[in-house]
Structure 1
Amino acid sequence: MSAYEENESKLWRKSKENPFVPMGIAGCLAIAGYGLWKLKSRGNTKMSVHLIHTRVAAQGFVVGAMTIGVIYTMYRDYVVKPREEQSPAQSK
């Protein structure tokens, strides 16, 4: 048997630990879908350039979500937890 529950997938477990994972996936898929939808009305732009711009936008969103997730995790681990540990010690 594995280290986590049988019915719980790895994606679901990671999503609980870091809520920015599904946000990054959803944003990437949304931007890629929007880029494909706008493909028919790209105007004078070459298809390869349009696809490159869509890819860069999707990757930028994912990198931004990862950055925000790392900052949030560091804030939670290094600012909030030390305050919680100091609060009970000061009240004694």
Structure 2
Amino acid sequence: MSSDEPWLPAEDDSQVLKLARKSRDAPFVPIGLAGCFAVVGYGLYKLKHRGTQKMSVHLIHTRVAAQGFVVGAITIGVLYSMYTDYMKHSSRSGPNK
């Protein structure tokens, strides 16, 4: 099996193109990550003005809010995916008699 042509991978994409493709396939994951970074950034910004609250409690609240945003975005994405896969397809086929 000798050939003169060199082997080339099926897709020679850069990391940016792979990320863009995966973002199109599952758009709620980057939305969740962006929300996570936004919540963490806001938590760090508010760190100076936390009042009498302990730092550990403030950081725990920030972590829980960031995780909640990510889990919520992924859950919405899964529900939307299930809706498009099952509900739209069953409504197109019509009622089964």
Interval containing the TM-score (normalised by the shorter chain) = 0.7 to 0.9
TM-score normalised by structure 1 residue count: 0.82
Counterparts of 1:6-85 in structure 2 under 5 Å?
A: 6-7=13-14, 9-84=17-92
Matched residue of 2:53: which SS? coil
Cα separation, 2, equivalents of 1:3 and 1:51:
45
Shift in alpha-carbon separation, 1:67–1:37, aligned structure 2, 3 A = same
Matched residue of 2:74: which SS? helix
Of Structure 1 and Structure 2, which has the larger fraction of its residues in helix? 1
Q: Which has the greater radius of gyration?
A: 2
List gaps (5 residues or longer) in structure 1. Answer: 88-92
Matched residue of 2:38: which SS? helix
Partner of 2:5: none
Residues 14, 21 of structure 1: 8 Å contact kept: no
- Residue by residue, what CA displacement relative to the aligned partner does 1:35-84 show, whole Å, maximum 9, x if unpaired? 00000000000111100100000000000001100000000000113334
Cα separation, 2, equivalents of 1:47 and 1:3:
51
